[in-house]
Copies of this chain bind each other. A is one copy, B any other.
Amino acid sequence: MTKQDAHTPSSATSESRELGWHKGYLSGSRADLRVPVRRVHLTSGKDVTLYDTSGPYTDPAIETDVRRGLPPLRQNWIIERDDTEEYAGRELRPEDDGIRHTTPRGGAVPHGRAAGAGLDGLDAVFPGRARRPRRGREDTGGRSAVSQLAYAKRGLVTPEMEYVAVRENRAPEFVRDEIAAGRAVLPANINHPESEPMIIGRAFLVKVNANIGNSAVTSSIEEEVEKMTWATRWGADTVMDLSTGRNIHTTREWVLRNSPVPIGTVPLYQALEKVNGKAEELSWEVYKDTVVEQCEQGVDYMTVHAGVLLRYVPLTARRRTGIVSRGGSIMAAWCLAHHEESFLYTHFSELCEILRTYDVTFSLGDGLRPGCVADANDEAQMAELETLGELNRIARSHDVQTMIEGPGHVPMHKIKENIDRQQEVCDEAPFYTLGPLTTDVAPGYDHITSGIGAAMIGWWGTAMLCYVTPKEHLGLPDRDDVKTGVITYKIAAHAADVAKGHPGAQDWDDALSDARFEFRWEDQFNLALDPETARSFHDETLPAEGAKVAHFCSMCGPKFCSMKISRSINERFGLDAGEERPLDEEEIQAGMLAKSREFAEAGNRVYLPLTD
């Protein structure tokens, strides 16, 4: 993977040249609204414009430094709205980084640059500029909601909405209306101004999330930041930081300050660290403290397993694989230990009041999702979904943007019921599914078992697909696994966009197919989802540079290239590929006869020499 190892932010310049594309921008109604796109250069001189998630790292004009973080592109838009305030923010504590109370000097420390400075064993404090957190300003009856949903309901089109409108080639008012109706979310915490606005909803391009995160077992901060930039380089629309080990807070700080895409988390994981992993010691207070901590850092959406109710836990007892969601099983254990209803459920409105003042989006977790095809669509799963529908309505009444998480392991014939039920029960809120995996028998290949289900459920209306890597069930994904997972899910998402007839989605396929038909190898490579891999596979068989313009494809060899023959058929009809004018019978017959004579005169040579 030496070629790929070159794709670090620092080498973006040389990379984009070598890849035959450059970073371009579409402009909006204001100078500071520039929407990044990937412009692929065709040999014809024309460009093909593709959606781009890679952030400033692929713009040679912008010098990036992971130690400083990305420029806060949304900062002015947020300030302009004049409904937020800066404040001191919550104090950072050693346990925020999973440091036990055994450290001698482990007291409270100020927020920002000095965060955790000098704490024993804190591995890599983020050195970037200190930034005080913002929140919605005090208003009649609590703090004002500064969510895109609140603005949309009031009929406002924010710069964020215009940004995604340009990005998705839709009208800004359409974007606003989809958000206002709760059919789409635009995750954009006011404390993550570095993120480039994107939208998640069934009326828009199907999105892909990539999970990263260190665990108690392995991985480091640098690796996670690297995985994040690597995932967005290949097309991840959002990234979830699922870190569970040491340095959770600091790792998240590094990831957020350097991320051009929205970042999601599961606050419960960090809360559990704060109580030394003892689920029964979890409390609303510890959880709330963790949520505020993450809201101030800039987390854009949070998975909350508030649908795991005490009465649902017994429904999982006779399952084949019980509860497989981490958050779900932690809450189930808490409920069992206390014999009380989940604090996430009983304090849900309070939680909404917090999230609305930072514009953090809910991702209501499916803690009872099936962990094998045998458990798919069972009573426990469907009961939880009903509760998620109830919570979605509560969140909406608080102006908190909300999406709903879905399974999991589901055989093909049971997939459609999932999206149909969810859309009905959750008032068309965006569905965000993990896979689903269509069979349990292929550990090591679950990016494929799940890519199949992901493409199908995307076609049927799922708004975002959470990737699965080859390491699922087996280990933590490394850099190559992250790439494989993202590419596989971009395939599923794009196949879904094409099947949905999403405006313009098939243009990409058509451009690549034209290049294939016309033997423009370089154009094929540059248009490919993964140019390096396409190019290297081709070169293995025909290493010569010349082969890339030769009029035969490497699969068949000189004499067997059907594309070549087919082209000569078109030539006989005096047609270019894709010419629209219909031919009448006479023209065709005349053309055929004339061409058959030429054919003979040309010495009946079906295959032209490679040099032509």
Residue from B438, B455, B538, B599 within 8 A of A475 (CB atoms)? B538
Q: Is A154 an interface residue (CB 8 A)?
A: no
Which of A313, A499, A562, A577: most chain B CB closer than 10 A? A562
A411 — which chain B residues lie within 8 A by C-beta? 495, 498-499, 506
Cβ-closest chain B residue relative to A510: B374
Complex CA–CA separation, A444 to B593 (angstroms)? 40
Known: A438-B455, A455-B412, A474-B554. A541 touches B280 (CB 8 A): no
Interface residue? A439 (CB, 8 A): yes
Bound Cα distance A278, B528 (Å): 34
Q: Is the Cβ of A569 less than 8 Å from the Cβ of B606?
A: no
Complex formed: what's the CA distance from A56 to B310 in Å? 55
Given A278-B606, A501-B413, A579-B318 contact (CB < 8 Å): yes
Q: How close is A495's CB to chain B, nearest CB, in angstroms? A: 4
How long is the Cα–Cα vector from A278 to B323 in the complex, in angstroms? 64
Contact A513 B320 (CB under 8 A): yes
Which residues 556-574 of A sit at the B interface, judged by CB distance below 8 A?
556-560, 562-563, 565-570, 572-573
Would you call A487 and B445 a contact (CB within 8 A)? Answer: yes
A595 interface residue (CB < 8 Å to B): yes
In the bound complex, how far is the Cα of B245 from the Cα of A488, in angstroms?
34
Whether B569 pairs with A495 at a CB distance below 8 angstroms is no
Contact status B336-A572, CB under 8 Å: yes
Distance A313 CA – B538 CA, assembled complex (angstroms):
30
A575 touching B317 by the CB < 8 A rule? Answer: yes
Q: Are B555 and A474 in contact (CB under 8 A)?
A: yes
Chain B residues with Cβ below 8 Å from A513 are: 320-321, 371-374, 440
Interchain CB contact (< 8 A) of A528 among B442, B475, B575: B442
Chain B hits for A593, CB < 8 A: 339
Residue A612, interface by CB 8 Å: no
Complex interface: chain B residues within 8 A of A277 (CB): 559, 606-607
Q: Which of B318, B438, B470 contacts A575 (CB 8 A)?
A: B318
CB distance from A307 to the nearest CB of B (A): 15
- Given A444-B533, A496-B412, A569-B336: A280 and B604 within 8 A (CB)? yes
| CA of A166 to CA of B44, assembled, Å | 60
Say if the beta carbon of A330 comes within 8 Å of chain B.
yes
Q: Is the CB of A512 closer than 8 A to any CB of chain B?
A: yes
Contact yes or no, B541 A372, CB < 8 A: no
Cα distance A332–B566 in the bound complex, in angstroms = 9
Q: How far is the CA of A442 from the CA of B607 in the complex (A)?
A: 28
Assess the A470–B566 pair: CB atoms within 8 A: no
Cα–Cα, bound, A277→B608 (Å): 12
Q: Which residues of B contact A215 (CB under 8 A)?
A: 555-557, 560
Nearest-CB residue, chain B, relative to A414:
B499
Is there an interface contact between A555 and B472, defined as CB atoms closer than 8 Å? yes
Are A473's CB and B372's CB within 8 A?
no
Interface centre among A456, A538, A540, A541 (most CB of B within 10 A): A541
Measured between C-beta atoms, what is the minimum distance from A51 to chain B in Å?
12
| B565/A494 in contact, CB under 8 A | no
A569 touches B474 (CB 8 A): no
Greatest chain B CB density within 10 A among A277, A438, A510, A578 is at A438
Chain B residues, Cβ within 8 Å of A560: 215-216, 244, 269, 326
Across the interface, do B322 and A570 meet the contact criterion of CB distance under 8 Å? yes
Chain B interface: which of A8-16, A172-180, A446-454? Answer: A446-454
A582 CB, nearest partner CB in chain B, Å: 7
Q: How far is the CA of A560 from the CA of B213 in the complex (A)?
A: 13
**Given known A324-B562, A337-B596, A529-B441, contact A452–B455 (CB-CB < 8 A):** yes
Bound complex: CA A452 to CA B583 (Å): 36
Contact assessment for B339 and A592 in the assembled complex, using a CB-CB cutoff below 8 Å: yes
Question: Residue A534 at the B interface, CB < 8 A?
Answer: yes
Q: Shortest distance in angstroms between A116's beta carbon and chain B's nearest beta carbon?
A: 22
In the complex, the answer to whether A512 meets B440 with C-beta atoms within 8 Å is yes
> CB-CB < 8 A to A456: which residues of B?
412, 452, 456
**Which of A333, A411, A441 counts the most B-chain CB atoms under 10 A from its CB?**
A441
Q: Of B316, B512, B530, B566, which contacts A324 at CB under 8 A?
A: B566
Q: Given A336-B572, A562-B328, decide whether A534 and B444 contact each other with a Cβ distance below 8 A.
A: yes
Give chain A interface residues in 211-225, CB to chain B under 8 Å: 215-218
Question: Is A553 a contact of B473 with CB atoms below 8 Å?
Answer: yes
Does B280 lie within 8 Å of A452, measured CB to CB? no
Residue of B nearest to A437 (CB): B495
Is residue A158 contacting chain B, with contact meaning CB distance below 8 A?
no
Asked if A343 is an interface residue, CB under 8 A from chain B, the answer is no
Q: Which residues of B contact A459 (CB under 8 A)?
A: 412-413
Interface flags for A464-478 (1: CB within 8 Å of B; 0: not) read 000000111111101
Sample (29) of A-B pairs whose CB atoms are under 8 Å apart: A272-B559, A278-B605, A316-B566, A318-B579, A318-B582, A320-B517, A321-B513, A321-B563, A326-B556, A329-B566, A332-B566, A336-B595, A336-B596, A373-B513, A374-B513, A411-B506, A438-B499, A441-B491, A441-B508, A441-B509, A441-B512, A443-B512, A443-B537, A448-B488, A452-B492, A471-B537, A473-B516, A474-B537, A476-B541
In the A-B complex, the 8 residue pairs with the closest CB atoms? A322-B566, A475-B541, A372-B513, A216-B557, A329-B562, A412-B499, A444-B533, A329-B565
